[in-house]
Amino acid sequence: MTAFWRATAPAQPMSMMRTAWTGAMVVMLGPISLSLYTPALPAMVHAFDTTPAAIKLTLTVYFCGFAFAQLACGPLSDAYGRRPVGLSFFAIYLVGSVVAACSPTLEWLLAGRALQGIGAAAGIATSRAMVRDQYSGQQSARIMNLIGIMLAVGPAISPSLGGLILATVGWQAIFFLMVVYGLVVMVLVGFLTPETNRHINRALAKPRHVIASYRTLLADRRFIGPSLLMAISPGGLYTLAAMLPFVMIERVGLTPTQFGLGMLAQTGSYLTGAAIAGVMLRRVDAMRLIPFGLTMVALAGLGFGIGLHFWPPSFVSVMGPVALWAFGNAFIMPGTTAGALAPFPHIAGAASALTGFMQIGGGLFGTAAAALLFADPFQAITIIMAVMASVAVVVYFTLIHTSGPAARLMPAVKPEDIEVAVDPAGIVGAGAAEIETITSARQGRRA
């Protein structure tokens, strides 16, 4: 049993395919835990005899636990190893899933969701670090690309699966399915995955080192601009996760199963945008894609804030702006993520963890505002999303725009930097040592 937790580096690295499948299984823990149960949110309002605002807090506490735990997962996995840290957090996730499934009251459900968020945060931190421990260059890029594809497919089918489970068994079964998936991840990491961190250094977990790095980042405008835009762009999609089930099921009239299938519009739009952006990045600097993506987000904001006041809520009038936002997000993320990391090769691990915190924090802020300020989810979606889109435009023109004062502070972001800073779920919380080594090597080559 001791070997189950021990961090012992292997003599040979795992194969690329095995690394990709392991990383994908682990990293999907978080997104699946978010999207699998969203079709059940309206049903849970009746089950707990409460309000939509109260049930939306289950997303808020999940985001809160997920966001803050990310800040600790990266340094801890650098200090103690990927397996021990991952298994410890996954155990927390299992406890939270059981608590949520067996919740007699809303308070117990909130506690379970908070524990789920804390435990799931290790999935992103450990999976990306496992890749960096073993591979670099094009091999690393191919593995992360495969993980990214699988990461998109999992959340895409989860709402549909959640809707089917709700229609046939009930909302509790959704959380029991999360228990099963958590057990699969525990077995995979505990028995079938070797420790990949060959440079365990417990000094990296000392609070003073971690706090000093975060203080440096938060005081630098080069980090603040891109990270704030990241908080708004994917944060808007996380915010939508709290409101769309109520709007589409209760206002538009979809069944939970239909809602789950309808969410493919969001995922499909993001995948389409990511494919187009990937082709453009071969010839265009990633920062130059941001204005186009931001235009799409701004148009989506107009669709939410103005369009929904002229057209009655329907699948097209609601999911149209959602798809547009997701499409634009695919063009915003490469440049902002790489832009936030490039100036800080010496603390790239902390930078990646903090960008992840900002992204999830945007969703936390949006879901909290929706739950606390609006009784009507439809009103919340028309106001909050329009405000977030407006703030995104202001942030870009004041802190990022290449013709403004910030241009002299922003690094030139090359397509190859996207290998280090991938999409919203890509590098969040990854181990500092691996990213710092790769980024420093690139800085040396460019010099």
Three-state SS string over the chain comes to: CHHHHCCCCCCCCCCHHHHHHHHHHHHCHHHHHHHCCHHHHHHHHHHCCCCHHHHHHHHHHHHHHHHHHHHHHHHHHHHHCHHHHHHHHHHHHHHHHHHHHCCCCHHHHHHHHHHHHHHHHHHHHHHHHHHHHHCCHHHHHHHHHHHHHHHHHHHHHHHHHHHHHHHHCCHHHHHHHHHHHHHHHHHHHHHHCCCCCCCCCHHHHCHHHHHHHHHHHHCCHHHHHHHHHHHHHHHHHHHHHHHHHHHHHHHHCCCHHHHHHHCHHHHHHHHHHHHHHHHHCCCCCHHHHHHHHHHHHHHHHHHHHHHHHHCCCCHHHHHHHHHHHHHHHHHHHHHHHHHHHCCCHHHHHHHHHHHHHHHHHHHHHHHHHHHHHCCCHHHHHHHHHHHHHHHHHHHHHHHHCCCCHHHHCCCCCCHHHHHCCCCCCCCCCCCHHHHHHHHHHHHHHHC
CATH number of the domain to which 195 belongs: 1.20.1250.20
More confident residue, 309 or 9: 309
Residues in the chain: 447
Per-residue confidence (pLDDT) for residue 346, from 0 to 100: 64
The CA distance from 124 to 127, in Å, is 5
* The pLDDT of residue 171: 92
Tokens (6 digits) for 37 = 């149960």
Look at residue 29 in the predicted model and tell me its pLDDT.
Answer: 87
Whole-number Å distance between alpha carbons of 177 and 37: 10
Mean pLDDT score, 387-404: 82
Determine the average pLDDT of the residues in 376-399: 92
Q: What is the pLDDT of residues 301-343, one digit of tens each?
A: 999 999 888 888 899 999 999 999 999 988 888 788 777 777 7
Question: Using CA atoms, how far apart are residues 374 and 376, in angstroms rounded to an integer?
Answer: 5
CA atoms of 50 and 56, how far apart (whole Å): 11
Residues 60 and 115 sit within 8 Å (Cβ to Cβ)? no
Reported as a single tens digit per residue, the pLDDT across 45-82 is 999 999 888 888 898 899 889 888 988 887 788 788 88
At residue 438, the pLDDT reads 34
Mean pLDDT check: name the lowest of 90-99, 190-199, 319-328, 405-414. Answer: 405-414
CA-to-CA distance for 213 and 210, rounded, in angstroms?
A: 5
pTM above 0.85, yes or no: no
What burial class does residue 1 get, using C-beta atoms within 10 Å of its C-beta: 0-12 exposed, 13-18 middle, 19+ buried?
exposed
- pLDDT given for residue 229 in this prediction: 92
List the domain range (segments joined by +) for residue 288. Answer: 2-446
Instruction: Please report how many Cα atoms fall inside a 13 Å half-sphere around the Cα of residue 249, on the Cβ side.
Output: 25
- Spatial CB neighbours of 46, under 8 Å, sequence gap ≥ 6: none
Q: What was the pLDDT predicted at 293?
A: 94
Comparing C-alpha atoms, which of 413, 26, 84, 343 is closest to residue 352? 343
Q: Can you read off the two tokens belonging to residue 174? A: 């959704």
Which among 175-184, 285-294, 395-404, 408-417 has the top mean pLDDT? 175-184
Share the mean pLDDT of the chain: 79
How distant is the alpha carbon of residue 116 from its chain centre? 14
The predicted-structure confidence for 202-228, as pLDDT tens digits, reads as follows: 777 788 888 888 888 898 888 898 889
pLDDT at 436: 36
Phi, psi of 15 (to 5 degrees): -65, 160
pLDDT tens track for 90-114:
999 999 999 999 999 999 999 999 9
Please measure the distance between the N-terminal and C-terminal CA atoms of the chain and give it in whole angstroms.
49
Tell me: pLDDT of 134 over 50.
yes
pLDDT range class, residue 1, cuts 50, 70, 90: low
**Domain count for the chain:** 1
Looking at residue 4, its pLDDT comes to: 60
Give the C-alpha separation, 221 to 399, whole Å.
Answer: 7
d(CA 352, CA 417): 13
- Residue 55 tokens, joined: 């049930």
User: For residue 396, what are the CA distances in angstroms to 330, 336, 404?
Assistant: 16, 10, 10
Least Cα distance to 417 among 431, 438, 397 occurs for 438
Candidate from 146-150, 167-171, 244-248, 292-296 with smallest mean pLDDT: 146-150
